């Protein structure tokens, strides 16, 4: 092809793109030398050298000076992404608790705050608990709201584009709550509300049971059962935010499956409805016949809806998560057996490794995704907390 005219605009665009390429390479790995960064990015060494120095000046990177241990020649300095340039908060507003995590831009959690809430608590009580954990986590970390780059909150029920659960929420009165509006009094940064199952799915792929997979069906199993779907590596919300709500269909039996546990003969009268399932799982583990039958029936029923998702999406991995994942030892094998009967191709069935923290961790991941999205589309200014668009 003929020679080509390169204008000043073209060059400035190239510089910006190359700087972002280097930031991205820095984020994903341990401190790197200019030579390593040049190899990773495909850019020339001289170009990377100039960019890296610019990133240090701009506040995006720090220099790691070489130690005295090097043997030959002058050892190369390394550059590290400055993860403490900003922080994010991830919250799980669940049926029984509110849990908040604070992390730096690498996703390393530095502070945690938790408060119990009664399952039948109204919206005011739940919002008060949320406010308390947020105040506590800022206080304990010595941060102010201005230090936070994104806040993400997980709630039960499908979340629409406005961040509300208008279609349906099992938390009493919660469908009327406007969480983004509530939080915007305190935080000027982006606020993202998302469904709990979807967040837990994100977390399991980020640092849990499915970190090797791009096609994941995540099951949040408890007295309610929901699903979060990751397809080709991306969390799928659906057109109206209601993807994963297959449990609403009677024919797939998720609605009634937990009743086998709740109504199991022999559950002592002193055990409340919220704890009946745990009692049954324990009794089944100890060999109680009624309890084992209840668990078998429970698994057969959740297998129907799970098979529907597996047949629809053909995932690599099914992750069994949520409160009941504590009893994955009793569920995984029979679930895999049922799926083998019902499906054309049976995926790996694995237990969640994140347990009760998965929703809050997924909220952190979503907050970090939002920070990245802004970083890599808005271009590189000096690191400051982004404001809502």
Residues that bind a second copy (CB under 8 A): 1-7, 9-11, 13-15, 18-19, 42-44, 46-47, 49-51, 53-54, 57-58, 158, 167-168, 214-215, 227, 229, 231-232, 234, 236-249, 251-253, 304, 307-309, 311-316, 342-345, 347, 380
Smallest distance from the beta carbon of 30 to a second copy, in angstroms? 24
Smallest distance from the beta carbon of 169 to a second copy, in angstroms? 11
Smallest distance from the beta carbon of 6 to a second copy, in angstroms? 7
Task: Say which residues have a Cβ less than 8 Å from residue 327's Cβ, sequence separation at least 6.
Answer: 278, 281, 285, 295
Smallest distance from the beta carbon of 337 to a second copy, in angstroms? 16
Smallest distance from the beta carbon of 5 to a second copy, in angstroms? 4
Smallest distance from the beta carbon of 81 to a second copy, in angstroms? 16
Smallest distance from the beta carbon of 43 to a second copy, in angstroms? 7
Distance CA 127, CA 145 (A): 17
Which structure tokens are listed for 2?
């003929």
- Closer residue to a second copy in complex, CB, 167/188: 167
Identify whether the C-beta of residue 109 lies closer than 8 Å to the C-beta of residue 117.
no
Which structure tokens are listed for 271?
């055990």
Smallest distance from the beta carbon of 181 to a second copy, in angstroms? 22
- Closer residue to a second copy in complex, CB, 245/370: 245
Name the burial class of residue 203, with classes exposed (0-12), middle (13-18) and buried (19+) by CB atoms within 10 angstroms of its CB.
Answer: buried
Identify whether the C-beta of residue 261 lies closer than 8 Å to the C-beta of residue 277.
yes
- Closer residue to a second copy in complex, CB, 43/267: 43
- Closer residue to a second copy in complex, CB, 138/220: 220
Element spanning 351, H or E: strand 348-351
Distance CA 227, CA 332 (A): 16
Task: Say which residues have a Cβ less than 8 Å from residue 269's Cβ, sequence separation at least 6.
Answer: none
- Closer residue to a second copy in complex, CB, 208/247: 247
- Closer residue to a second copy in complex, CB, 22/191: 22
Smallest distance from the beta carbon of 166 to a second copy, in angstroms? 10
Distance CA 61, CA 83 (A): 8
DSSP code at position 60 = S
Identify whether the C-beta of residue 157 lies closer than 8 Å to the C-beta of residue 168.
yes
Q: Which of 17, 43, 353, 41 is nearest to 208 (CA)?
A: 353
- Closer residue to a second copy in complex, CB, 41/325: 41
Distance CA 47, CA 360 (A): 40
- Closer residue to a second copy in complex, CB, 179/308: 308
| Dihedral angle of Cα 241, 224, 323, 314, to the nearest 10 degrees | -60
Smallest distance from the beta carbon of 195 to a second copy, in angstroms? 11
Identify whether the C-beta of residue 331 lies closer than 8 Å to the C-beta of residue 285.
no
Extract the runs of DSSP E, i.e. beta strands, from 38-169: 61-64, 78-81, 87-93, 97-104, 109-116, 148-155
Identify whether the C-beta of residue 144 lies closer than 8 Å to the C-beta of residue 185.
no
- Closer residue to a second copy in complex, CB, 313/349: 313
- Closer residue to a second copy in complex, CB, 194/357: 194
């Amino acid at each position: 092809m003929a020679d080509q005219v390169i204008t000043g605009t073209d060059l400035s665009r190239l510089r910006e793109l190359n700087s972002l390429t280097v930031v991205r390479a820095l984020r994903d790995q341990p401190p790197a030398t200019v030579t390593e960064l040049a190899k990773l990015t495909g850019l020339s060494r001289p170009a990377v050298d100039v960019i890296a120095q610019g990133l240090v000046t701009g506040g995006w990177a720090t220099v790691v000076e070489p130690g005295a241990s090097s043997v030959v020649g002058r050892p190369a300095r390394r550059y590290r992404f400055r993860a403490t340039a900003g922080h994010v908060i991830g919250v799980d507003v669940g049926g029984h608790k509110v849990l908040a995590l604070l992390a730096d831009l690498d996703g390393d959690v530095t502070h945690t705050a938790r408060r119990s809430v009664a399952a039948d608590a109204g919206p005011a009580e739940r919002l008060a608990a949320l406010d308390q954990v947020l105040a506590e986590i800022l206080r304990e970390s010595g941060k102010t709201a201005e230090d936070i780059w994104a806040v993400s909150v997980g709630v039960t029920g499908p979340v629409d584009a406005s961040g509300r659960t208008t279609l349906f929420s099992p938390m009493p009165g919660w469908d009327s709550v406007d969480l983004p509006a509530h939080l915007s009094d305190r935080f000027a940064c982006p606020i993202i509300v998302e469904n709990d199952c979807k967040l837990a799915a994100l977390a399991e792929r980020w640092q849990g049971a499915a970190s090797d997979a791009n096609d994941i069906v995540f099951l949040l199993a408890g007295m309610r059962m929901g699903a979060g779907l990751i397809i080709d590596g991306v969390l799928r919300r659906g057109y109206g935010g209601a993807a994963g709500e297959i449990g609403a269909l009677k024919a797939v039996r998720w609605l009634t499956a937990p009743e086998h546990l709740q109504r199991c003969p022999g559950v002592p009268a002193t055990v409340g409805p919220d704890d009946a399932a745990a009692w049954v799982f324990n009794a089944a583990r100890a060999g109680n016949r009624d309890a084992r039958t209840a668990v078998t029936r429970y698994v057969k029923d959740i297998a129907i809806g799970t098979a529907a998702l597996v047949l629809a999406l053909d995932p690599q991995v099914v992750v069994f998560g949520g409160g009941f994942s504590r009893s994955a030892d009793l569920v995984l094998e029979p679930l895999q057996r049922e799926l083998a009967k019902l499906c054309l191709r049976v995926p790996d069935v694995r237990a969640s490794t994140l347990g009760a923290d998965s929703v809050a961790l997924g909220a952190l991941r979503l907050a970090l995704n939002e920070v990245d999205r802004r970083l890599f589309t808005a271009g590189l200014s000096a690191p400051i907390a982004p404001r809502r668009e």
